[in-house]
Structures are given as structure tokens and as C-alpha cells.
């Protein structure tokens, strides 16, 4: 199984997580503060090299009824731009409904204060997205 990078794409940040070499667990990598698109793509290329993968699991923020709204359009636009900038990238969309809520709950349960949670919640949301994907493909 290849390694995967997961992305939780937001307007100002991108949460990044990576799978372990066996594809069992997801670990948080970082929360990228978004800047120029070219700079963002360069960072993603660096992660692809570092973790030796071309596979991205991108959280698709569907509405609670399963429909795709404005945030899904933004995510699809980002993914299209990513594949244009990095043609070798392989994109897998993963339903991320409530991933940020789940990430917040984990961080709260760990006793993390609000200010610190705010800095890492996107990275943790990427972990939740990737772990859900990995769990669905194990067996």
C-alpha cells in the first residue's frame, strides 16, 4: 500500500497528515499557513518527496445531508489546481463531515487550551480524515 498525504483545505490554512509506511495509522505533519499558491504547491511537493508518495486524500466537506455545497466547490477547485501544478499527484476525495468537530473534541479531551487548539485543529482534522480513509481500506 502506498503512503498517503491527507489535506484539510481551508481558506487560510491547510492541515497536513501522513500515513505510516504500512498504511495503518495517520500522523499529523503540520498546519500550513496559506500564502502564494506557488509557495503552497512547493511545500506539498516537498512533502511528496519527504514521504515518497504521490497520493493525496483530500477532505471533501459535504453538507450534513450529503450534498455538495460551496465548500466542496472550493475544495474541487483546489484539487484541480493541485493536479495542474503537480501532474503526478493522485487525488482521492474523502467525506470529511464533522472531521473538525472530531478533532476539536480530541484536543479538548486532551486538555488543550483554546488558543493552542486553534493552531493545530486543521492538522488534527487531516489526521481524522486520513485515519477514516485508512480504516476503510484495511483488512
Q: Is the pLDDT of residue 103 over 80?
A: no
CA distance 2 to 52: 9
Share of the chain above pLDDT 70, in %: 81
Percent helix / strand / coil, the chain, rounded to 5: 45, 25, 30
Q: What is the pTM of this model?
A: 0.85
Q: What is the pLDDT of residues 68-102, one digit of tens each?
A: 778 889 999 999 999 999 999 999 999 886 666 66
Quickly state the pLDDT bin for 130 (edges 50, 70, 90): very high
Q: What is the DSSP letter of 19?
A: E
CA distance 69 to 71: 6
> Tell me, what's the pLDDT at 110?
66
- Name the grid cell of 62: 459535504
CATH code: domain 4-136 is: 3.30.420.140
Amino acid at each position: 500500500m502506498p503512503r498517503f498525504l491527507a489535506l484539510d483545505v481551508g481558506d487560510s490554512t491547510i492541515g497536513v497528515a501522513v500515513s505510516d509506511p504500512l498504511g495503518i495509522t495517520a500522523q499529523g505533519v503540520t498546519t500550513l499557513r496559506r500564502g502564494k499558491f506557488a509557495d503552497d504547491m512547493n511545500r506539498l511537493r516537498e512533502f511528496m518527496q519527504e514521504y515518497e508518495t504521490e497520493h493525496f486524500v483530500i477532505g471533501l466537506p459535504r453538507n450534513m445531508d450529503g450534498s455538495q455545497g460551496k465548500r466542496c466547490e472550493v475544495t474541487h477547485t483546489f484539487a484541480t489546481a493541485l493536479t495542474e501544478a503537480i501532474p503526478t499527484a493522485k487525488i482521492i476525495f474523502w467525506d470529511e463531515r464533522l472531521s473538525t468537530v472530531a478533532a476539536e473534541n480530541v484536543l479538548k479531551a486532551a486538555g488543550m487550551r483554546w488558543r493552542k487548539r486553534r493552531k493545530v485543529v486543521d492538522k488534527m482534522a487531516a489526521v481524522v480524515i486520513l485515519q477514516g480513509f485508512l480504516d476503510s481500506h484495511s483488512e
